[in-house]
Amino acid sequence: MGVSFKELDLNLNHDVKTFSFQNKEIEVKQHISVVDKNDLIQIALQKSYENGIYNDILTDAYFHLNIIYLYTNIEFAPEDKEDELALYDKLYQSNLLNSVLACMDSDEYNNLVEIMNGEIQKRMQYNNSAAAVLQSIIQDLPANAAAAADIVNNWDPQKFQSVQDMVNLAKQTGMNPPIPERQIDTESAHEDNLINFLEEQNKITE
């Protein structure tokens, strides 16, 4: 027979430890929700990602800043967070950060560190994988498609047809010398090059 979840009477852990800092009582939560933990780690990783890698110094700073934000009763005004790295320096050098960490549940803290390091490792492995290369190509498709559409939209079929007619005429009259190969960057440049060549050949035969 099953057991009703409600009958288990489970409760969230709201334990708090406190310490005194400059005659102020600082509260430190022992546990936070999974949603808040995820936000803590994702924000730290987002802000520390630079040039395809995670900057260890920034990761450490933003990780611990978010611990202060989410685990303590310290309130920050918007101007306090304008320069978060300067804020981190103040928290660290004043020893306030270490005091907070000393009051944290050690299993809670170690679990956060383990999850974040695992997330970094998985992301870096993915970034170096074939799947990431394919994803990059897929993301670039709209831009490539737009460039192709621009070429098509600006193509002049009448001008192209006149070139075709001149080529056919040259073949019919036996005037079909090889066209020197040239590095052409664009379709329009190739078209202009062919027109110029045929015009020169036409002057020779006149």
pLDDT value at residue 113: 97
**What domain range includes position 192?**
151-205
Which helix (H) or strand (E) segment holds residue 103: the answer is: helix 96-103
81: in domain: yes
Which residue would you say has higher pLDDT here, 153 or 32? 32
58: in domain: yes
pLDDT tens sequence across 160-184: 566 666 666 666 666 555 555 545 4
Q: Of 80, 64, 62, which Cα lies nearest the Cα of 72? A: 64
H helical segments located in the chain: 5-8, 34-48, 56-71, 84-93, 96-103, 106-127, 130-153, 157-172, 187-205
Q: What percent of the chain has pLDDT over 90?
A: 51
135: in domain: no
Domain count, the chain: 2
